[in-house]
Amino acid sequence: MSISAETLKNSNSSYLSQGFKAVWPICIGYIPLGIAMGVLGQKAMLTPLQVLAMSLMVFAGSGQFIAVSMISAGAFIPSIIATVFMINLRHLLMSSSLCVYMKKVSPVKLTLLSYGIVDETFAVNIEKLKKGNWGPRRAIAVNFFAYFSWALSTFTGCYFGEFIPEGSFGIDYALTAMFICLLIFQLNGSIYFITAVISGIVAVFLAMTLEGNSYIVISSIIAASIGVIIKKRKNYNEQ
Amino acid sequence: MSNEQYILLVVGMGIVSFIPRWIPLFYLSKKELPKPVVEWLELIPVAILSALLFPALLVDPHTKEFVLISPQTAAFIPCFIIAWFTRSLGITLVAGMFFFWAGTKFM
């Protein structure tokens, strides 16, 4: 569907509500994670406003966790920034993958959309974009609902952190459960299944051997490359 | 860390987080990509999700050891079945939290 048709058909409220319908489980999943991040921030002597500022500027779960632990450890500012950069490099792949669906979208929308790319919003948006009937406005709505849920949760965690018991109601599993479901959404054929298996095996192996989270980018690149080669061979054999 | 240093840190973190998100989307979306690259990019989401999920289930983040039996993996099986049949993120989320909670209680 073209952008103009999408704009004509849908009022602002409908794309916001459609975005919300797609993203609410993520917003819930962010509450325990954000609170945990806020509590860590408080322990690192940050104020709730400082934690909020970081969430609004950076919007990256694992990056922020590591930054805060480095602040507590008294690390130098450049080394914290360099670490955050490395951790967030995987967003490069996600942004590249989204661009296939974002032809002829305005620079402002592309910029807004890119600001909110994280693992979870990417997975929800790519699934919707593949099915069609999903455009930049809804994708931006998804990203910003998640963004505000994250920012508010981290602020709350820093403010009230001490009073919240750890691991209540299995909420620590919220994001894992979502990844299970989002992975299933992506299994649209044998080549996707094969790629998932390769990536899973390589990632587990690398996660056991490498420091940090570089295993995500490395195993994704390896698995997608093998997937393309297998697909080529299969097409060639069928001809 | 002083407030000025903190502002410098957060702005720096913001810039290095934004650039990898922005550059591909901003520049590549204007170009026609070759077919193998598009095919490769189509396989990236499934590869990333698998790379995020399985180490989280099977590798202990502190010891880096392989752990096959844990509340995480016990909750995975019912969670997978429910996700497969319902295709609902919300139901899977609630079910996953329940099974994990039950797993930590009884394991």
Per-residue pLDDT of chain A (239 residues; tens, 9 = 90+): 445 545 545 566 788 999 999 999 999 888 888 887 888 888 888 999 999 999 999 998 878 887 887 888 788 898 889 888 877 888 988 999 999 899 889 999 999 999 999 989 999 999 999 988 899 999 999 999 999 999 999 999 998 866 766 656 666 787 788 889 889 988 989 999 999 999 999 999 999 998 877 788 899 999 999 999 999 998 877 76
Token pair listed for B75: 């909750």
The reply to whether A22 falls in a domain is yes
Q: Which of A25, A126, A180 sits opposite B80 (nearest CB)?
A: A180
- A92 and A48 housed in the same domain: yes
Tell me if chain A has a CB within 8 Å of the CB of B41: yes
Yes or no, beta carbons of A53 and B9 under 8 Å apart: no
Among candidate residues A82, A212, A34, A76, the one with its CA nearest the CA of residue B13: A82
Domain that holds residue A201: 187-239
Q: Which residues contact residue A148 at a Cβ distance below 8 angstroms, ignoring those fewer than 6 apart?
A: none
User: In terms of CA atoms, which chain B residue is nearest residue A87?
Assistant: B17
Helix/strand number for chain B, H first, E second: 4, 0
Q: Which residues of A touch B73 (CB under 8 A)?
A: none
Among candidate residues A15, A205, A131, the one with its CA nearest the CA of residue B45: A131
A120: left (phi over 0), alpha (psi -120 to 50) or beta: alpha
pLDDT tens-place string over residues B39-84:
998 898 899 889 989 998 999 988 999 999 999 999 999 999 999 9
- A164 and A199 housed in the same domain: no
Q: Is A105 helix (H, G, I), strand (E, B) or coil?
A: coil
CB pairs < 8 Å spanning A and B: 280
Q: Which residues of A touch B18 (CB under 8 A)?
A: 114-115
- A191 and A142 housed in the same domain: no
- A9 and A58 housed in the same domain: yes
Q: Which of B23, B41, B54 sits opposite A97 (nearest CB)?
A: B41
d(CA B92, CA B27): 36
Yes or no, beta carbons of A204 and B14 under 8 Å apart: no
A3 CB-contact burial (10 Å; exposed 0-12 / middle 13-18 / buried 19+): middle
The domain boundary, picked from A171, A198, A215, lies at A171
- A53 and A143 housed in the same domain: yes
- A17 and A89 housed in the same domain: yes
- What would the mean pLDDT of B13-24 be, rounded to a whole number? 95
User: In terms of CA atoms, which chain B residue is nearest residue A60?
Assistant: B17
The reply to whether A182 falls in a domain is no
Yes or no, beta carbons of A88 and B97 under 8 Å apart: no
The reply to whether A176 falls in a domain is no
User: What is the least distance, in Å, from the CA of A8 to any CA of chain B?
Assistant: 23
d(CA A162, CA A130): 43
- A143 and A204 housed in the same domain: no
Query: What is the number of domains present in chain A?
Result: 2
Task: List own/partner pairs for A203-208 with CB under 8 A and 24 or more apart.
Answer: A203/B50, A203/B51, A203/B52, A203/B54, A203/B55, A204/B54, A204/B55, A204/B58, A204/B59, A204/B66, A207/B55, A207/B59, A207/B64, A208/B59, A208/B64, A208/B65, A208/B66
The reply to whether A104 falls in a domain is yes
Yes or no, beta carbons of B43 and A178 under 8 Å apart: no
Rounded to two decimals, what is the model's pTM? 0.77
The reply to whether A181 falls in a domain is no
- A164 and A194 housed in the same domain: no
| Type of residue numbered B43 | L
Q: What ipTM did this prediction achieve? A: 0.86
Yes or no, beta carbons of A170 and B10 under 8 Å apart: no
Helix/strand number for chain A, H first, E second: 12, 0
By the 8 A CB rule, do A171 and A32 touch?
yes
Q: What is the pLDDT of residue A2?
A: 47
Tell me if chain A has a CB within 8 Å of the CB of B67: no
